[in-house]
Structure formats: C-alpha cells, structure tokens
C-alpha cells in the first residue's frame, strides 16, 4: 500500500478524500502481460491505516511496459508507480 496525494472521490452520495492506493496482481503470464487489481482508500481511524475503499478497478500492463517492468530491480514499487500514473494519482 502507498500513500497518495489526497484526491476527492464521490462515494455513496458524499465527497470523501482518498489517501491510499493498494494493488495486487490478479494474473501474470510471466512473458507478455500482468493484470493488477487496484483500490483507493480514505484515511482510517488510526493514522497511517486505510479506511473506506472508495474506488477500485483492474489495469493490464503489456508490451514494452511489461518487458521494462520485469527488468526493473524493484518491480513492486515500479508497479505502484505505473498504476498511479495510469490513474493520474501521485504517490507521496
């Protein structure tokens, strides 16, 4: 999970502020693509802990981006930064 620059999200009839991005791999064929689940969350009741999930979805990385990602020394951080870029979020 990564902390993001706060963004307002319309959720259940109200505007909430999301501050966390979580992600995991749903499928990776180990040669051409990886599909990620992502979710963004509000701040929880404890500082630094996620609260309400206000949005979620899936993204698929493929092509040259996938090949470059597999060559990166820290593929976990790189995946978060790629997802954030795709969602127009900023990791802080």
What distance in Å separates the CA atoms of residue 33 and residue 66, rounded to the nearest whole number?
Answer: 6
* Domain annotation covers residue 32: yes
Q: Is residue 91 part of a domain?
A: no
CA distance 42 to 40: 7
Looking at the domain assignment, is residue 15 inside a domain?
Answer: yes
Where in the sequence is the domain holding 26, given as residue range(s)?
2-86
Tell whether 63 is covered by a domain.
yes
Write down the pLDDT at residue 6.
97
Domain assignment present for 22:
yes
Domains: count for the chain:
1
Predicted TM-score (pTM) of this structure = 0.93
Q: Is residue 92 part of a domain?
A: no
With a CB cutoff of 8 Å and minimum separation 6, the contacts of 69 are: 34, 61, 75, 78, 79, 82
Provide the pLDDT confidence category of residue 71 given band limits of 50, 70 and 90: confident
pLDDT digits (tens, 9 = 90+) for 4-26: 999 999 999 999 999 999 999 99
């Amino acid at each position: 999970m990564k902390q993001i620059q706060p963004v307002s999200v319309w959720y259940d009839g109200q505007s909430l502020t999301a501050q966390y991005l979580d992600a995991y791999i749903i499928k990776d064929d180990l040669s051409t693509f990886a599909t990620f689940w992502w979710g963004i969350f509000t701040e929880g009741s404890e500082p630094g802990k996620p609260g309400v999930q206000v949005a979620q979805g899936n993204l698929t990385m493929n092509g040259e981006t996938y090949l470059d990602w597999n060559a990166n020394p820290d593929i976990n951080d790189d995946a978060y930064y790629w997802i954030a870029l795709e969602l127009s979020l900023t990791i802080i």
